[in-house]
């Protein structure tokens, strides 16, 4: 079992930045691929970014490329999502997730989930 706790969400103006953190506990964090997903009201959960277990490979959705960066610190059992140049359409609940396997953009392939953190971007 892996427990995930997100933090760092909040209200920010368009063009601003936030850094989300996801702290993991339980089984060895370093063996898991980590992902960030988001879900806006009335919409399906969508892929944002993922990072391989060693951090050597990262993947991002086209909608956030060049603005969001995923990273991880296995010594701290933490994965981060640096979000810059935020837009109102980035408003959503952001979730981190873990899976034992290769990175995937499909949320159904992830085994463990945090409770989510709200990000609201005002125009």
Given a cut of 90, whether residue 113 has pLDDT beyond it is: yes
What are the residues whose beta carbons fall under 8 Å from the beta carbon of 119, sequence distance 6 or more? 9, 10, 12, 18, 20, 38, 83, 86, 90, 91, 92, 93, 94
Q: Report whether pLDDT(29) > 80.
A: no
Comparing 6 with 30, which gets the higher pLDDT?
Answer: 6
For the chain, percent of residues with pLDDT exceeding 70: 100
How much helix, strand and coil, in percent to the nearest 5, is found in the chain? 5, 50, 40
What are the tens digits of pLDDT across the range 35-87? 999 999 999 999 999 999 887 899 999 999 999 999 999 999 999 999 999 99
- Please give the average per-residue pLDDT across 27-35, as a whole number: 84
Distance separating alpha carbons of residues 68 and 40, to the nearest angstrom: 17
């Amino acid at each position: 079992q892996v427990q995930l706790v997100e933090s760092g969400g909040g209200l920010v103006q368009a063009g601003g930045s936030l850094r989300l953190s996801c702290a993991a506990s339980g089984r060895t964090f370093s063996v898991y691929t980590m992902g960030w997903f988001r879900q806006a009201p009335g919409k399906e959960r969508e892929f944002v970014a993922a990072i391989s277990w060693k951090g050597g490979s990262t993947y991002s959705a086209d909608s956030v490329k060049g603005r969001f960066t995923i990273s991880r610190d296995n010594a701290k059992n933490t994965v981060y999502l640096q979000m810059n140049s935020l837009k109102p359409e980035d408003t959503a609940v952001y979730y981190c997730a873990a899976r034992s396997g290769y990175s995937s953009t499909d949320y159904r392939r992830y085994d463990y989930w945090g409770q989510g953190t709200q990000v609201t971007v005002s125009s």
